[in-house]
Structure 1
Amino acid sequence: MDEFGSVNGLVDTIITSPPYADLVDYGNQEEQVGKQSYEDFLDDIREIYRQCYDIASDDCTLWIVTDTYKTGGRVVRLPFDIADELENLSNYETCLEESCEGALRRNRADGTLICRTCGEVYDPLPESWRMEDNIIWDKLRTRPWHQKGRLRNVYEHVTMFSKTDDFKYNKDAIRITNTDEFEQWWVNYPERYNPKGIVPSNVWEFPIPKQGQWGPKKSFHPSPFPEGLVERIVRLASDPGDVVFDPFAGIGTTLAIAEALDRKPLGFELNEEYIDYYEEHVRPTAKREVGTVQSTLRDEQAELARKIYTLRVHKYALELYKEFVNSEEHDIREGQIEFIHAVSDSAQFGEADEPEAELLYVCESESDFENVDVDAAREGMLSENKGSGDYYGVEFDPEFITLHDYLSERLPGRDIDLEDEYHLYIDGAHNWAEHSFTPAAWKALVEDGDWKRYWSKSRPPLISNMHIQAENPMDKRKPDAEGHQVDFSSFD
C-alpha cells in the first residue's frame, strides 16, 4: 500500500468473487468471510464493499462473479441479495425522522426506501453502489451434477456496479473482430457494422480453467477465474496505469492479468498457499502469455477496419451508380457508364474519423453525363433507414469523367499513394476481387477496349486500388470441391 500513497480515489476497477457463504472450502482461515449464517455473511459482504466504495475513484466500477445455489429445498438468490445490500450501503432500516421510528421498505422499481409509518422517502443510491448490468457467464463446461428442480448449472452471474454515473466503460477495447461471429448479412451491409468490431452481448462464453492452466496439473483452487473473462473486464473498465483491486484475490488471476495488461494490481488474500502459488505460477504465466494478446488485438482491429471500409466504399460506388441510372431526374442510361474507378488510401482506415474516397464514373464522352446532377443523386440516396448514404462514414468525392481524360490525366488517381495493383469487381459484387492488374496493365486494357469483356448483367465493372475477397454468407452459391465459387462456366 505504501506504493500508492493516499487511498482516496485509489481504486479504479474492482473485480472479484466473494466466498459463497459456507458452500466452498477455501482453506482453514479464521477470518474467512462465509463461515457464518447467511444474514451475517451478507452483513460482512456489505461492510467489505462499503470499504471498497470509500477507496474507489468516481469512475470506478465493481464486478462481482456469483451464482445462485440451492439449500434446504430453496434457491438462494445470492447475486441479487448482494445487489440489495450494495445499493443500501448505509443499511438504513428505520425512518431517519426524529419523531418517527417506522420501518423502511424498498421500492424495488427505483431503489428508494419508503417509511411505512410517515411515508418519507430516502434514496440510498447516491452513497451506494448502483447495479448497472447483469451478465451471464456461460462456463461451457462444468460438473455433471443435477437434481430435481435444478438442471445442470453451466453459467454464473457477473454483476456490474458503478459508484457514479461517470463510470469508465471502454467498449471499443472489447469489440469482437472475428467476422465469423457477425450476423450473416455483414458483407451485404457493411455500413451497419462498426469498423472497430461489434460490442459483445451480455452472454459471455469463457470455459472454466482446466487443471494446470496456471501451473502444476492439480486442482489448486476451487473456483479460479478464466483468463478471458478477467481480461475482457479489465479492458472494458480500466485504462493502462489504473489500479485493479480484488479483495478476495484467491490465486491472483485478476491481479496477474491486470499487471500483464499494464494496470497496477492490488489484492488481499488470507491463504498463504494461494499467495505462494500466485507468485510461483499465476503471475509469471500471465506476464508471459496475456501481454502478447494486445498487439494481436490491434492487428485484428486494423484488418477489420480495412475490410469494413473497403466494403463500404465499393458498395457506395455501386449504389450511387444505381441512383444515376434508375432515377428519372438523371438523363443517363445503363451502358453509358463504362466502368467505375474507386480510389482510397487504406492507411486512413481505422485512423481517420471519415476516410476519403474518390469515385470516378467513366463515360465515352461528356454528352453522356452532361445532364447528370451528382449532388442530387447523392441526396436521393439519403433516408432515415440504415444503409442510406448517411451511414457509410466515408467522405466521398464522386464525379463523372470522359474516357480520354481518365487515360490522360486521372489514371491511376490523384493525390493518393496507390498500391501496386488494381483489383476488378464484376457483376455488381463489392466483396470479391475476380482479377488483379498492375496500373500499366489496366491502362492497356482500357486503351484497347478489352475491359468491356468484364461487363455483366448490365452492370459496369468496378476497378479499385483496394483488395478484398470476403466470402458472403448470404450468397447461395456453394463452393465446389476445390473451394472455388461455382458459376455457369464450371459446366462447360
Structure 2
Amino acid sequence: MSDEPDSRFRIYQHDSRELKSRLEAEFEDVDGLVDTIITSPPYADLIDYGDHDEQVGQQNYESFLDDIRSIYKQCYEIAADDCTLWIITDTYKTNGRVVRLPFDIADELENLQNHKTCLEPDCSGHLQRNRGNGTLVCQTCGEVHDPLPESWRMEDNIIWDKLRTRPWHQKGRLRNVYEHITMYSKTDEFTYNKDAIRITDPDEFKKWWVNYPERYSPKGIVPSNVWEFPIPKQGQWGPKVSYHPSPFPEGLVRRIVHLASDPGDVVFDPFAGIGTTLAIAEALGRKPLGFELNSEYIDYYEDHVRPTALREVGSVQSTLQDEQALLQDRIYTLRIHKYAYELYKELITTDRNSLRDGQIEFIQATSDPTQFDQDADPAASLVFVCESAEDFNDVSMDAAMEGMLSEDKGSGDYYGVDFDPMFSTVNEYLDTLRTDPPTLLDEEVYLYQGKHNWAESNMEIGDWIECVASNDWLQYWSKTRPPLVSNLNIQVENPMEDRGQKQAGHQAGLNSFD
C-alpha cells in the first residue's frame, strides 16, 4: 500500500455551486464523503450590493442567499450523518440597516428544500415560518410542515472575539471585534469531541478551583461559547501579497477540527481561499478537500500555506493529554485531601456523637494515582487516628458520610471518588505500619498542615513511623486541623489566599523538602 496521500483530496479550482457534480467526477460515491465542513462564504462585496454575477458574493443579497442555500444543500447531500457544518460570518450595516447575515443564512439552511407553498395536494397556501420551532405553517389550511429532518439544524452560535481588528466605527455602530461561528448538524449523531478541546491550564480557571476541586472536571473545563483568538498577521503563512485575505487563526481551526472530527476524517471547505483551514486540518491528520475559483489563492496554498502548516502545526493532542494527566492528578489529589478534612469537620461538629476537636490526632489518606485516568471513580482510603478506641466507639462513619451528602451541606456528592474511611488508634496504626504497611506508603509520605493544597514536608516511611511513635507529629497541627499524611504530593497556590499570606505560610515548607 502506498504512503502517498490520495491526490483526490485537494483544492479544486471550480465553482462551488457545482461542487457535487465535480466531486462525482472524482469519487465513485460521494454519499457520506465529508465529515466536517468549516468555511466562510465570500460576503465582503455584499456590503456594496454589487450587481456582478461572476461568482458567489458579487451579486444582490437575495441571489447570494439562494446560492448559499444551493451550495450548502449540496454539502448536506455529500455529508456523513455525523457531519457538522461550521460557518463563520458577521453582521454588517448598509443603508442605515444592520444586515443579519448569520441568521438569514440559518433561515435558508433550516429549509434546504426551499418550501414556500403548502405541500398538501389540494392546497397552494403560503407557508409561514414558526420562528419558535422552525416549522412551516400553511396560512390557508393550517397544515404544519417540518423542514428540519431534511435540512441543517443550528446547534450553537459561538462568538469569535478577534481581539484586534480595524479601528473603524460610526454612529450607531461601535468598533466591531467579533464574528459569528454558527454550528449546524445533519443528524443528532454528530461528532462532538469536547474532551479534545478542554482547557487544562488552571490559570484560566476561576479563582476558587483549589477550594472547590469537586466542581471542576479532572479533564479540564469545556470552553465557553466566546472564543478569543487574535486574527493572524499577514505573512504568517508565507510572503505578504496584495491579494492575501485574512485567514482564520490556527487555534480557532484547530479547536473546531479536534471538536468536530477524528483523525482520518475529511474536512471540507467550499470557499477555501488560500486554504488555511485545509492545511491545518491536514497537519492534524485529516484529509483536506475544498473548492476555490482564484488560481492565485490555490498556488499560494500549494507553495506556502500547506508546506508551512505541515511543517509547523503538527498535532498537539499528545501535549493536551499530558496536560490532562497532570490536571487529573491535581484535581483528584485536591478532592481526596479536601474530603478528608471536610469529613473530619463533620465528625467533630455533629451532635450525633461525642467526638470533638483534638480527639482525632491525625488523618491518613492513600489513593492509587494510576486510577485517576480510568473510567471508574478512583478509590481512596482514609484513616482517622485517635489516641483511644473510646474516642470513636459511638461514632457512625456512615452517618457522617451521609451528612456530607445532605442538601444543606452543598457539594459533598460531587467528589467522584470511592472513599473508604475508618478509625484507628495510634497503637493499631503503628502496628499496621510496622507489620503490613499499605503498598502505597512503601516509600515516602507527604505532610499537610491543615491545607489540602500544599504539602509542607515529606519523609521516608520509616521516619514517619518514628515520628508517630515519639509524638513528633504534634508539631504539624495547624490551629484548627490535624495533620494529614498522604502518599499524594501536591503544591499548588490557592488563588483565594492573600499573596503575602501564601508566601509567609509556604516558606518553611519549601525548605523542609529534601
- Provide TM-score, normalisation by structure 1: 0.92
Alignment of 1:43-62 (within 5 A): 43-62=66-85
Tell which deviates more after alignment, 450-459 or 55-64. Answer: 450-459
Say whether 1:381 aligns with 2:436.
no
- Cα RMSD for the two superposed structures: 2.4
Shift in Å, 1:223: 2.7
Say whether 1:100 aligns with 2:123.
yes
What's the CA shift string for 1:337-370, capped at 9, x where partnerless?
1100111111221234211111111122322222
Other structure's SS at 2:238 match: coil
Shift in Å, 1:290: 2.5
Shift in Å, 1:40: 0.6
Alignment of 1:188-267 (within 5 A): 188-218=211-241, 220-267=243-290
Shift in Å, 1:52: 0.3
What's the CA shift string for 1:187-209, capped at 9, x where partnerless?
11100111111111111000001
Q: In structure 2, what residue type is equivalent to 1:400?
A: F
Cα distance in 2 for partners of 1:238, 1:6 equals 20
Change beyond 3 A, Cα 1:292–1:159: closer
Correspondence for 2:474 among 434, 449, 452: 452
Shift in Å, 1:31: 5.0
Cα distance in 1 for partners of 2:111, 2:329 equals 48
Alignment of 1:385-424 (within 5 A): 387-410=410-433, 416-418=439-441, 420-424=443-447
Conserved 8 A contact 2:284-2:315: no
Cα distance in 2 for partners of 1:417, 1:168 equals 40
Change beyond 3 A, Cα 1:414–1:172: farther
Instruction: Extract unaligned runs of 5+ from structure 1.
Output: none
Which position in structure 1 is the counterpart of 2:297?
A: 274
Other structure's SS at 2:447 match: strand
Tell which deviates more after alignment, 449-458 or 58-67. Answer: 449-458
Shift in Å, 1:292: 4.4
What's the CA shift string for 1:120-167, capped at 9, x where partnerless?
221111111111111100000001111121111100000011111222
Correspondence for 1:436 among 458, 464, 485: 458
Instruction: Extract unaligned runs of 5+ from structure 2.
Output: 1-6, 10-26, 510-514
Shift in Å, 1:418: 4.7
Shift in Å, 1:318: 0.6
Other structure's SS at 2:75 match: helix
Correspondence for 1:331 among 350, 354, 358: 354
Other structure's SS at 2:465 match: helix
Correspondence for 1:158 among 171, 176, 181: 181
Cα distance in 2 for partners of 1:255, 1:413 equals 60
Shift in Å, 1:410: 3.5
Runs of 4+ that moved beyond 6 A:
486-489
Cα distance in 2 for partners of 1:156, 1:419 equals 56
Q: In structure 1, what residue type is equivalent to 2:388?
A: S
Correspondence for 2:343 among 314, 320, 328: 320
Conserved 8 A contact 1:336-1:364: yes
Change beyond 3 A, Cα 1:374–1:96: same
Number of residue equivalences? 483
Q: In structure 2, what residue type is equivalent to 1:461?
A: P
Percentage of matched positions with identical amino acids = 71
Shift in Å, 1:249: 1.0
What's the CA shift string for 1:167-186, capped at 9, x where partnerless?
22111111111111111111
Conserved 8 A contact 1:477-1:485: no
Change beyond 3 A, Cα 1:30–1:71: closer
Correspondence for 1:127 among 125, 150, 156: 150
Shift in Å, 1:441: 2.1
Which position in structure 1 is the counterpart of 2:17?
A: none
Conserved 8 A contact 2:456-2:506: no
Which position in structure 2 is the counterpart of 1:11?
A: 34
Alignment of 1:68-147 (within 5 A): 68-147=91-170
Conserved 8 A contact 1:345-1:418: no
Q: In structure 2, what residue type is equivalent to 1:120?
A: E
Cα distance in 2 for partners of 1:223, 1:181 equals 28
Other structure's SS at 1:119 match: coil
Cα distance in 2 for partners of 1:438, 1:216 equals 60
Cα distance in 1 for partners of 2:268, 2:293 equals 15
Cα distance in 2 for partners of 1:211, 1:414 equals 63
Cα distance in 2 for partners of 1:432, 1:446 equals 21
Cα distance in 2 for partners of 1:413, 1:140 equals 60
Correspondence for 2:59 among 36, 60, 71: 36
Shift in Å, 1:283: 1.9
Tell which deviates more after alignment, 301-310 or 288-297. Answer: 288-297
Other structure's SS at 1:452 match: helix
Shift in Å, 1:287: 2.3
